[in-house]
Structure 1
């Protein structure tokens, strides 16, 4: 009788369990959106409270942290793969050790070259020392989050992401209330990483079915794509800090943050469409429909946000950062349009990489390196900086779209 009861529970509640699993995925998506919004809240609070000059120094810390985020994400993906492979406990133990070594080297890089960074960016060495201390645990944190992801612990993953971000938001508010400076903000960043790591450990389950590992992307192309993305999204912020006054650099940092809001929203929302697209690989009609729906969604968000930046730039800038940043109002829509174009590129390259096509990966890396070279050659004014980014973005968008069109033409032949 007991066996019959257990069997009846399983068959009766399978639809319910499936719905609960889908619900946890929406929790993760909602958590990602909240994390992005909270990160914007941190930047907005600091920008309004500290003013453009001090915010330029904060932006160096935030940009370096953003680059480190790509490394942590790489470890997260690596851990998710390792969790689905044979002998996963040994592989994850080794990956944790590697993550700690990389984190320690990163910390030493920040600490050992603090004087160099100070001369380069004109910042105090203390914030860089504190950031380096926090980054030691950031890569191991990526490993733990990858294990959560592989075990579909989406609620716990979303909670850990929110914990990290909310600590930074609360810390930024406290720093301003107490009248503290840039080093305290860096200490808050480091503390948020340590707190998130301290509550992240998860014991990996023993894997019985490893057939899904063959469907995952190779790590080499993924790393190159992330490197190219990091150069495109962050190189202008760091380079502007080198060439312009701290006041202008702080205003440009606010410009970049507001202008990329549409990119982050569309990229997060497009995750749903991308998942649907990958599930539809056996039905060409459904696949094409999901593909164009995703592209249309990303384009729509980018166009609407760019128009909003063109129609009411003063309102957006004053609302998020304050009147001290209004000189950037005239070019806000241009930055938003550039970021919107890259959101389309990012989706197309991810889609191609999922199908084991790597042309977009190399194009993205080339575009990132090309942007650095051209910015070094032409950076007399902020308009020059935006012109270079627009040129790189249009060239990358055209070449990625061309490669996609050629692939589809070949498949129809």
Structure 2
């Protein structure tokens, strides 16, 4: 009993959150793996498209979340209340606009991405306002370092999505894409748990000061720009492959992308811990670089293990996860994992500087992100070429971030 109490004291909320993130990533992988095996490569391409669209839209959600997390640390009680009110209202308004656009252009999106149905985009669009609102909620938990509540909201979203999607696929005879979109939309309702109605001020007489308005505006604009570029870097390849290649090849590539991106999902966990720590250290006048080194070393170790595993056992990994129907992607697995690893490490540097209100790395990431999209547009004669041009772009991004960091450290 004494040993159990000692262990409980040693397990910090951070450790609980890290364990929760690993479980959530595992659940999301299970979700995609089940869909991949259940639907087959061609139908799985539509499912992967929906997941990718969610990740693309997450640039707005993550902007809300990171901004809320940052200013939860910096603002006093009155300014914090006024700021929260503005963020929740903005999340609802932008969510309604984004959802309406998806619904309005559903037919056009079906033609662009060669999907079986346009209703999947309509069902998906209905859930977007809840997703943005949920992101502000998560930012509040993150900034206040309430990692237990932050873990719960991710767990509720992930497990409900898995359960609802599987149930819908089992009982309803509709196109899989429609049912998967409904499962995603319903999961946002559960992602609002824990709901604290008193802590969600939709009305407030308190206004932000002029200086704070400027700080918030600058951070949100540049964070949104960076989130958009890094989302495009990480997901544009799946969208472009869905457009340029046949459904079978697009589905095979989607399985490759899912396995290779395990590095990115692992890095995301450390980004969630990095931002509030860096902001708090800077506020206290303490050095911030040690926090960066700590998390870069963690991610570096993870990337070496994952890329090595993909290089040594590609066929085993693919067959275990997706089945023999996807084995043709085995030669490309380690290459895709390498591209994602380079991006994950570069991403940590970018978020570090974003936390310190240094925005040059954001601009650099944007330029290189656009160059990656252009490279894929001009060089897509094969799936192998699509992967290799991404390695070139991500290596350039990491080298650029390292050069900027080195210059920043020696700058007086």
Distance verdict in 2 for CA 1:294–1:152, change over 3 Å: closer
Structure 1 range deviating more: 313-322 or 400-409: 400-409
What's the counterpart of residue 63 of structure 2? 74
- Local SS of the residue matching 2:326: helix
2:281 & 2:146 partners in 1: Cα distance? 24
1:341 & 1:246 partners in 2: Cα distance? 28
What's the counterpart of residue 108 of structure 1? 100
Report matched runs for 1:28-107 at 5 Å.
28-81=17-70, 83=72, 84-85=75-76, 86-107=78-99
Q: Deviations over 1:365-386 (max 9, x none)?
A: 1111111122111111111211
Contact 1:274/1:294, CA 8 A, preserved across alignment: no
Distance verdict in 2 for CA 1:203–1:153, change over 3 Å: farther
Q: Deviations over 1:104-144 (max 9, x none)?
A: 11111111001100111111111111000111211112222
Structure 1 range deviating more: 394-403 or 152-161: 152-161
How big is the shift at 1:272?
5.3
2:197 & 2:58 partners in 1: Cα distance? 20
2:11 & 2:190 partners in 1: Cα distance? 28
- Local SS of the residue matching 1:46: helix
What's the counterpart of residue 392 of structure 1? 393
Distance verdict in 2 for CA 1:310–1:144, change over 3 Å: same
Contact 2:62/2:227, CA 8 A, preserved across alignment: no
Distance verdict in 2 for CA 1:229–1:27, change over 3 Å: same
What's the counterpart of residue 199 of structure 2? 204
- Local SS of the residue matching 2:192: helix
1:145 & 1:291 partners in 2: Cα distance? 23
What's the counterpart of residue 12 of structure 1? none
Report matched runs for 1:285-300 at 5 Å.
290-300=291-301
How big is the shift at 1:187?
0.8
How big is the shift at 1:205?
9.0
Structure 1 range deviating more: 251-260 or 261-270: 261-270
How big is the shift at 1:194?
2.2
Contact 2:142/2:272, CA 8 A, preserved across alignment: no
1:313 & 1:93 partners in 2: Cα distance? 49
Contact 1:141/1:200, CA 8 A, preserved across alignment: no
What's the counterpart of residue 13 of structure 1? none
Report matched runs for 1:243-262 at 5 Å.
243-262=244-263
1:295 & 1:151 partners in 2: Cα distance? 23
Structure 1 range deviating more: 294-303 or 370-379: 294-303
Say whether residues 1:188 and 2:183 are aligned partners: yes
How many residues are aligned here? 390
2:51 & 2:306 partners in 1: Cα distance? 23
- Contiguous gaps of at least 5 residues in structure 2: 202-207
What's the counterpart of residue 158 of structure 1? 151
How big is the shift at 1:93?
2.8
Distance verdict in 2 for CA 1:164–1:110, change over 3 Å: same
Rg bigger for which structure? 1
Say whether residues 1:380 and 2:381 are aligned partners: yes
What's the counterpart of residue 360 of structure 2? 359
Q: Deviations over 1:219-254 (max 9, x none)?
A: 222222111111100110100000001011011011
The CA RMSD over aligned residues, in Å, is 3.1
1:97 & 1:215 partners in 2: Cα distance? 18
